[in-house]
Amino acid sequence: MERRELFGSLASSLKGEKKPERLLRPPYFNDESLFQSECHKCEAKCGTVCEEDIIKFNKDETPYIEFGLNGCTYCDKCAIACEFEVLKVENKKYLDIIVTINKDKCVSWHHTMCFSCKDPCFDNAIDFAAMFMPKINDKCTNCGFCISRCPTEAIEIKVL
């Protein structure tokens, strides 16, 4: 375990975070069963080439995405590095999640000006009605860059 992973896991346990019931896989797969049958043969190359450092590994040595400090740029590097073809560039798709803003947690929905989620969004996928009330629009690529930036953890994901 690298130092960054150790401190990340300690920080998440202090926050009371837990891994989702269903793991969020990198966006280049077509067959979920290949993670179980092939990933244990590999040396975690997909995680080592991820410049955003969002690919982590489960106890069963399969990769999953964790939006700690960054999001996915869909750069293809993890798929190119995958020698067992679990991840393939031709299977590229948006991450299998639904991104929502929890109105109860969002400070903007409570009339405090905050653009923490909008600022890191490369795709202009968050609209604000009258400088408040953010909503995720159909331009969202599920990249996850907005998630860690929210000071109240109001941006939530549901893994499909």
In tens, the pLDDT along 40-68 reads: 999 999 999 999 999 999 999 999 999 99
Same fold, 3-91 and 94-160: yes
* pLDDT-based confidence at residue 78 (cuts at 50, 70, 90): very high
Rounded to whole angstroms, the Cα distance separating 118 from 122 reads 9
Contact assessment for residue 90 and residue 31, using Cβ atoms and an 8 Å cutoff: no
Calpha distance 154→73 (Å, rounded): 22
Q: How far apart are CA 71 and CA 93, in angstroms?
A: 15
CATH number for the region 3-91 comes to 3.30.70
| Digit-coded pLDDT (tens) for 79-134 | 999 999 999 999 999 999 999 999 999 999 999 999 999 999 999 999 999 889 99
Report the topology of domain 94-160: Alpha-Beta Plaits (3.30.70)
Question: Considering the entire predicted model, what is its pTM?
Answer: 0.83
For residue 69, the one-letter residue type is L
Sequence ranges of the domains in the chain: 3-91, 94-160
User: What is the number of other CB atoms lying within 10 angstroms of the CB of residue 112?
Assistant: 10
Q: For the chain, where are the E strands, in sequence order?
A: 55-57, 63-65, 97-101, 126-129, 132-136, 155-159
